[in-house]
Amino acid sequence: MADFRELGAQIYGISVDSTWAHDDWRQHLHLPDDLVLLSDFNREFGELYGILFTNPSGMKGVLRRTVFVIDRDGTITYRWDVPDPPGLPSADEVLQEVRKLG
């Protein structure tokens, strides 16, 4: 997180969970206060960005793990979609993309 802070990047976590669930996750995982958790309870964000899917257990309307780097003009300059849950790209890979916005 410190490397992202130094670059002035803001990190958001978005899920279909409620804000109350986010509060519990924040405490359970000891997430920093500057990691903003947003609720897409109505699935509007997921629909807009095409990241809703049905998970292997049959739950519909789940957000696929995706990382976006968005520049100051609101343009997506990097997008990573999970090929295999629960994978994520390396923080270094994302940090490299943020540095390109410099």
Q: State which amino acid sits at residue 90.
A: S
pLDDT tens digits, one per residue of 18-57: 999 999 999 999 999 899 999 999 999 999 999 999 988 9
Dump the DSSP string for 15-43: ESS-HHHHHHHHHHHT--TTEEEEE-TT-
Domain 2-101 indexed as CATH 3.40.30.10: yes
pLDDT at position 82: 80
pLDDT (average), residues 3-29? 93
Given a contact cutoff of 8 angstroms between Cβ atoms, the answer to whether 13 and 34 are in contact is: no
Domain ranges of the chain: 2-101
Reported as a pLDDT band with limits 50, 70 and 90, residue 89 is confident
Q: What is the pTM of this model?
A: 0.80
